[in-house]
Amino acid sequence: MRPAINLAQPRRLVICLGPGGVGKTTFSAALALEAAIRGRSVDVMTIDPAPRLIDALGLEGDAAQPRPVDLAQLHAKAAGRLRAMRLDPKATFDGLIERYAPSAATRDAIMIGRIYQNLSNALAGVADYMAMERLLALHHEEAANLIVLDTPPAQSALDFLDAPQRMIELIGSRAISLLGTSRGALRTPAAIVDFAARAVLSAFDRITGLHLLTDVRAFVTNFEGMYEGFAARALEAQALLSDPLTTLAVLITTPEPERTAQTCQFAEALHARKICIGAVVVNRMMKPLPDDAEIERAKLPVALKRKLRRNLADFAALKDREASAIAELRAAFGDDTRIFASYDYGREPRSLKDLAALAANLRPL
């Protein structure tokens, strides 16, 4: 039996996206597990700081490096390999400096500096780009031929997707050279403005004693020669995300009107970034309702049948709301994007077998 969502070669990257609270982490784990069961070597990574992905796959403790998931309990004949990890932005940034610093002295100067210590521990912005760097590192490893990426809720996911472009713009801007220009280079009005800005920072340093200008100038100088490498990797990441043959986005949502509207808006943002949407999964849908005739045929007291009919009418109203949500998704995505239902089983998956069943039981709508 073929999988509902095509994760076969040449796909190398699957990104699970969508609003918060719709089950992205669960489906990231489920899709990665299904691909591994079918024989692929899979890495699944979450860039959400919460440990839900690691918990869902039955792992404990730190997972900053890929950790193997034991598939033996599934008794899959053609099982491949599955590893899971959670992004550690600081460890990734430290690794980049270790790898690309032109010398050990430069590496040490960067890593002990006050600016780097604060920057590498920051969550906003830096975490987005470090997630992209970690993704590239996994992409270049021969060990995995499929990467499944679990993203945070929609707006934070867009920040992650925009990280390569922001890095390219930063490195191409004059901000990098603002503090490195000598007095002899003051030949343009813009350079004079830069010199004035440095003068203000110098005065601030004298008043506060923080030595901010010295620290920032040392940080920028130590990174000299590494900017081109950052820019090249940002361009590579941008190309990877927008390659329709390699990368597939799977949107996860639920049938509530608010979530459906958010998903449609999110899809527009992905189209603007040239990211291919391969499937939409509508999670926690109600199972098909019984026919009213079944109640009539049942050998039950009249009063109980009356209550059952009222309950059925209430559930039918909810099904009508679901149908409206599906119609809205069909109108937004057209016939090119497949839409799947994942029925609500009343509880969260508790084991690898539950996750495998979740992926296997997706049904086209």
Q: What is the pLDDT of residues 55-89, one digit of tens each?
A: 778 777 667 788 899 888 887 776 789 999 888 87
- The residue count of the chain comes to 365
The answer to whether residue 190 sits within a structural domain is yes
Structural domain including 290 reads 13-364
User: What pLDDT was estimated at residue 280?
Assistant: 95
In a domain, 41, yes or no: yes
3-state secondary structure of 128: helix
Residue 240, pLDDT score: 92
**What CATH number should be reported for the domain holding residue 219?**
3.40.50.300
Q: What would the pLDDT profile of 7-17 be if each residue is shown by its tens digit?
A: 777 789 999 99
pLDDT at position 214 is 64
pLDDT tops 50 at residue 194: no
Q: How far is CA 249 from CA 99, 149, 244, 274, 353, in A?
A: 30, 10, 9, 11, 24
Most distant CA atoms of the chain, gap in Å: 97
Whether 341 maps to a domain, the answer reads: yes
Q: Which residue has the higher pLDDT, 8 or 47?
A: 47
Residue 151: count of CB within 10 angstroms of its CB: 25
Q: Contact at 8 Å (CB) between 357 and 74? A: no
Position 120 in a domain: yes
Mean per-residue pLDDT for 148-173? 80
Domain membership of residue 328 (yes or no) is yes
- Assigned domain for 6 exists: no
Locate 281 and state its tokens.
Answer: 């999964």
What's the domain count of the chain? 1
Give the ranges where the chain is alpha helix by DSSP (H).
24-37, 52-56, 89-100, 104-112, 114-121, 126-140, 154-172, 189-208, 212-222, 227-241, 257-272, 292-297, 302-333, 352-360
User: Does 161 fall in a domain?
Assistant: yes
Predicted TM-score (pTM) of the model is: 0.80
CB 69 within 8 A of CB 57: yes
What pLDDT sits at residue 192?
37
Q: How far apart are CA 221 and CA 229, in angstroms?
A: 15
Backbone CA torsion sign across 341, 344, 348, 354: negative
Whether 225 maps to a domain, the answer reads yes
Find out whether 249 and 270 touch, Cβ atoms under 8 Å.
Answer: yes
Q: What is the DSSP string of 304-353?
A: HHHHHHHHHHHHHHHHHHHHHHHHHHHHHHTTSSEEEEEE--SS---SHH
